[in-house]
Amino acid sequence: MAANGTGLPMARKPLAKIVTDDKQGNGMCHDDSAKGVKAQTIDELHFLQKKRSAPTTPLEGNQGAFASLPDDERRRQQLQSISASLASLTRGTGPKVVRGDPAAKSSQAVEHVAHRHHHHVEAPAISVSDDSSLKFTHVLYNLSPAELYEQAVKYEKGSFITSSGALATLSGAKTGRSPRDKRVVMDDTTQNELWWGRGSPNIEMDEHTFLVNRERAVDYLNSLDKVFVNDQFLNWDPQNRIKVRIVSARAYHSLFMHNMCIRPTDEELENFGTPDFTIYNAGQFPCNRYTHYMTSSTSIDLNLARKEMVILGTQYAGEMKKGLFSVMHYLMPKRQILSLHSGCNMGIDGDVALFFGLSGTGKTTLSTDHNRYLIGDDEHCWSDYGVSNIEGGCYAKCIDLSREKEPDIWNAIKFGTVLENVVFDEHIREVEYGDKSVTENTRAAYPIEYIPNAKLPCIGPHPKNVILLACDAFGVLPPVSKLNLAQTMYHFISGYTALVAGTEDGIKEPTATFSACFGAAFIMLHPTKYAAMLAEKMQKHGATGWLVNTGWSGGSYGSGNRIKLAYTRKIIDAIHSGSLLNATYEKIDVFGLEIPTEIEGVPSEILRPENTWGDKKAYKNTLLKLGCLFKNNFETFTNYKIGKDTKLTQEILAAGPNF
């Protein structure tokens, strides 16, 4: 207190008088500065905090079987559909389901008062013969990223929010796909339609074994207090989109598929109806190793007749993405639509390019071009209407990611993005992208609209150029070659690149890798069927095929040099602009490829590989060695008949190495 002249403290000023507003005549004091809340309890206050999302676009005409139904009836039928998806085949009925988090008991109590809450709508009771009749299965239906963050951080160990806002999570013991544990039901139809045997990714199982695994997965999911259900779409082409339902036990899996599939509008979700395909992801629960056809505790099973996929014994989310890609590789060709494992971009004039390439070839780098629109980075369809992205998101590798090398991917890692198996600082939560402590296969899954130059909707006209990328560590393939249709089919079926492998004594040498159609692990039909469709569409729409080597020049790995990315970009630019079509070409030996004699911005001497080798004999021997590897790989496909005779097969064979 301040002192007056006497040294004694000054008296305080009196407090402002509390005004009593006795309008109601009860003598009660209250604050008139704001109106009271419309709630009688804290629970009701929390309920009022969350407002139901309103539809963003008006309904036009009849949007489906549910369009004319009242809201309550529509939601009841949605829940019946989900219950049917979770039905046990032995009991013949599904569980009793309600929408909402079982932990939110207070919200459920409020609902009976407010009659507004959209997460808790009870399905009609279904009589069953065991303990499942005594419980409800709570369905967390198409939750938003924010809601899924809350579920993951609260209930899933190993889930954290990173400094960029992305959700970091762990996929458990499996940090990659398990192709040897993938099974496809062989029945009377698929036995004749699918590619089986040597070189095929399709390993058979019978219907009974699938149903055993399905029952195991469904029983596990029904034993949980809650499951996550995503109803979404595949394929941006509205004429050929597929409705998919994903039932899973983890928020991580639900958010991953929210990002990777096409997200429906509120109206599309209200009228979703019965899905075309369903995934049962019970990856936290193992399969029974004593079950026929099982070789481990992991099993990923496809039943094309039942339109179902079962996942047991692996929590790696990529199994769902690639499992659905396999389904599209089966369904789309039946509609005369070519499914492709490729990147795709479009110039400002509408010229579309497809990029095929295995890991390390530069497919992502070259298809992501700031001067062009990104249609998609991985999975596409080519129909009579043009190209369309199958997915609604991107699944990018994160190992050694930097802002300088991949600014678009770096900036896409923000709120809503799933980061798989990354390592981060425990205090500031900053991700260490170079850290391989968990796995080298660290990944980011994010919606495609997180890329600034993404084309939405993700569709485009017919491709003008088809670019096959190979990282040739043998150093004998030219930086670029123009392909005729037969050569395009040959190299498309081969799906070649070369990896650098270490030997026991420390000497490193190239190892050839072949993956049919640049995605053998996912195709369902024989590779020549996809190749024939590709050639037919290229011929019909005037597309040109190109083979681009992003690997070595002047020698093999260890003696030559990697072709500079700047040169490869100049080559790709010349393809896009059409100037490379008007170049002068000459043919090289063995592979019979046509190579340009000149490209602006690229040293002419590197365009012909032989010119860059000091040891011409070594070049010739290495060229013949690679030619032999191509021939040996192609033996798998030589006896397959395309069409009524072997004419097309012979044309493809003639387009390969000749010596």
Give 314-370 as a DSSP string: ---THHHHHHHHHHHHHHHHHTT-EEEE-EEEE-TTS-EEEEE--TTS-HHHHH--T
Lowest mean pLDDT among 234-238, 509-513, 545-549: 509-513
Res 455 pLDDT > 70: yes
Q: pLDDT tens, 616-642?
A: 999 999 999 999 999 999 988 877 666
When pLDDT is cut at 50, 70 and 90, the band that residue 359 belongs to is confident
**Catalytic: 378?**
yes
Q: What is the residue-averaged pLDDT of the chain?
A: 87
Catalytic residue among 183, 443, 529, 576: 443
Which of 426, 457, 488 terminates a domain? The answer is: 457
Distances (CA, A) of 229 to 54, 123, 249, 279, 489: 21, 15, 9, 10, 41
| Same domain (yes/no): 424, 492 | no
Q: What is the CATH number of the domain that holds 612?
A: 3.90.228.20
- Average pLDDT for 196-218: 95
Assess if residue 51 is contained within a domain: no
| Same domain (yes/no): 437, 489 | no
Assess if residue 238 is contained within a domain: yes
Distant-in-sequence, close-in-space partners of 124: CB < 8 Å, separation ≥ 6:
76, 80
| Same domain (yes/no): 314, 407 | yes
| Same domain (yes/no): 533, 404 | no
Q: What is the CATH number of the domain that holds 236?
A: 3.40.449.10
Q: pLDDT tens, 153-184?
A: 999 999 999 999 999 999 999 999 999 999 99
Assess if residue 103 is contained within a domain: no
Containing 520, the helix (H) or strand (E) segment is none
- Can you tell me which residue has the tokens 């026929």? 292
Which of 414, 431, 457 terminates a domain? The answer is: 457
Rounded to 10 degrees, the C-alpha dihedral 96/100/105/109 comes to -80
**Catalytic: 322?**
yes
When pLDDT is cut at 50, 70 and 90, the band that residue 62 belongs to is very low
Res 129 pLDDT > 80: no
User: Rounded distance, CA 512 to CA 629, Å?
Assistant: 7
Res 32 pLDDT > 70: no
Distances (CA, A) of 74 to 65, 66, 121, 443, 509: 9, 6, 11, 38, 62
Q: Assign 278 to helix, strand or coil.
A: strand
Catalytic residue among 177, 245, 263, 462: 177
Helices and strands in the chain, H and E counts: 17, 32
| Same domain (yes/no): 471, 431 | no
Assess if residue 374 is contained within a domain: no
Res 303 pLDDT > 70: yes
Note the pLDDT of residue 143: 97
| Same domain (yes/no): 203, 279 | yes
Assess if residue 81 is contained within a domain: no
User: Rounded distance, CA 412 to CA 154, Å?
Assistant: 24
When pLDDT is cut at 50, 70 and 90, the band that residue 77 belongs to is confident
| Neighbouring C-beta atoms of residue 146, cutoff 10 Å | 9
**Catalytic: 341?**
yes
For residue 641, give the nearest of 532, 551, 547, 562 by alpha carbon.
532
Which of 457, 486, 513 terminates a domain? The answer is: 457
- Average pLDDT for 544-557: 96
When pLDDT is cut at 50, 70 and 90, the band that residue 20 belongs to is very low
Assess if residue 12 is contained within a domain: no
In eight-state DSSP terms, residue 181 is: G
Domain housing 496: 461-653
Of these ranges, 22-31, 184-193, 500-509, the one predicted with the greatest mean pLDDT is 184-193
**Catalytic: 12?**
no
| Same domain (yes/no): 224, 254 | yes
| Same domain (yes/no): 549, 590 | yes
User: Rounded distance, CA 332 to CA 341, Å?
Assistant: 13
Catalytic residue among 253, 322, 372, 537: 322
**Catalytic: 359?**
yes
Assess if residue 373 is contained within a domain: no
Catalytic residue among 237, 377, 378, 472: 378
**Catalytic: 443?**
yes
Assess if residue 356 is contained within a domain: no
Catalytic residue among 75, 117, 245, 341: 341
- Average pLDDT for 573-600: 96
Res 33 pLDDT > 50: no
| Same domain (yes/no): 473, 423 | no
In eight-state DSSP terms, residue 62 is: -
| Same domain (yes/no): 205, 217 | yes
**Catalytic: 364?**
yes
Note the pLDDT of residue 168: 97
Distance of CA 619 to the CA centre of its chain: 40
Res 643 pLDDT > 50: yes
Domains in the chain, number? 2
| Same domain (yes/no): 532, 615 | yes
Cβ–Cβ under 8 Å, residues 396 and 443? yes
Q: Give the β-pairing of 544-549 and 508-514.
A: unpaired
Cβ–Cβ under 8 Å, residues 445 and 260? yes
| Same domain (yes/no): 449, 531 | no
Catalytic residue among 364, 365, 481, 622: 364
